[in-house]
Structure 1
Amino acid sequence: MKKINSVLLSLGIIAMGIIVLFLCVYLLPILAQEAAAVHPEVAYLQYPILLGLYATAIPFFYALYESLNMIYVIERKSLFSSSIIKGLNYIKYCAFIIIALYVAGFIILDTANAFPPIMALAGLVIIIVSLMVATGSVFIKNVLLKFPLSN
């Protein structure tokens, strides 16, 4: 039963990564072109915004990698391993990097007066989810630190 759960969790993480990769490669450039065609006054921001979104994808994919690595460690070794704590720290840092990049993007778009409300709502949802992931990883790390760790 434990093996089935870890396989399903791994498949869910891989599926999430494939979906986000599909969005980054195919859907985001199309949406950026359409937005530039609809709002030509801010078309010069098309590629900087795309670059910013791709920059946030890097820590996202790294956090997915760390999650898969933690599943592997839990299967092979133990839940109470020091590499689990390191993985949780990396996930926390990735979440904070995503938050910082989105806040910086908000500030840049606001100063350029090119901040559509739907983009603000989507960015706010991503910031809140990233904050929840960071908080959850810190909580789990603190719970695991109360138990003796094995290497």
Structure 2
Amino acid sequence: MERGTTLFLKAAVVLIGLPILAIYIFVVPNIGNFAAELYPEYTSIRIWVWIDLYATAIPFYFALVQAFKLLVHIEHKRAFSDLAVQALKKIKYCGIGVGGLFAIGMPLFYLMAERDDAPGIIVIGMVIIFACLVIAVFAAVLQKLLQEAIAIQLENELTV
């Protein structure tokens, strides 16, 4: 793969992380405060919303780092290596982790949607969970294909 293509993809990975960082900095505190306004009798709901949403940042950014590493492996002609397989495996687990954390937080968001009469909150949460699981399945398929390609490559090297 050409260096320009991987450079573009690396920039895309970084640019994906920046708006999400802005959401974590500026929007997540407001979501917690909004939940606290809806349920003033539950003083800890704000903290639980923050914990759930900020916990999703850890696997998300870890997956972005792994995607960046995968692009570095591709750039250095190590696309068919165990390092690339491990990066895809980690991306798969991160997708499952982010989806799982959002699924764990869905009861909180259901409470917010119920009180505010805004079913869109539930739909947005379900779309995020679905997208995370699609990414995890896609990474798992790529991981399996890459493992098979590596096995075929090793078999051909032994034949020659």
TM-score interval (norm. to shorter): 0.7 to 0.9
Cα deviations by residue, 1:11-46 (Å, 9 ceiling, x for unpaired)? 111011111111101222133324433554556411
Per the TM alignment, residue 121 of structure 1 is displaced from its structure 2 partner at its CA by 1.3
1:37 touches 1:43 (CA, 8 Å); kept in 2? no
Per the TM alignment, residue 77 of structure 1 is displaced from its structure 2 partner at its CA by 3.0
Q: Could you list the runs of 5+ residues in structure 2 that have no partner in the other structure? A: 114-118, 154-160
Q: Which moves more between the two structures, 5-14 or 118-127?
A: 118-127
2:92 touches 2:140 (CA, 8 Å); kept in 1? yes
Match of 1:123 among 122, 125, 136: 125
Which residue in the other structure is 2:105 paired with?
A: 105
Give matches, 1:54-69, under 5 Å: 54-69=54-69
Aligned partner letter, 2:133: L
Give matches, 1:2-151, under 5 Å: 2-37=2-37, 40-41=40-41, 44-107=44-107, 109=108, 114-116=111-113, 117-148=119-150
- Matched residues, number: 147
Aligned partner letter, 1:120: I
Percent identity, please: 27
Tell me the SS of whatever aligns to 1:77: coil
Q: Which moves more between the two structures, 121-130 or 26-35?
A: 26-35
Q: Could you list the runs of 5+ residues in structure 1 that have no partner in the other structure? A: none
CA distance in structure 1 between the partners assigned to 2:11 and 2:128 by the alignment: 22
CA distance in structure 2 between the partners assigned to 1:30 and 1:50 by the alignment: 10
Q: Which moves more between the two structures, 1-10 or 128-137?
A: 1-10
Cα deviations by residue, 1:51-94 (Å, 9 ceiling, x for unpaired)? 10000111000000000011011111321011010000001111
CA distance in structure 2 between the partners assigned to 1:131 and 1:68 by the alignment: 20
- Flag the 1:35–1:105 CA change in 2: closer, same or farther, 3 A: closer
1:93 touches 1:134 (CA, 8 Å); kept in 2? yes
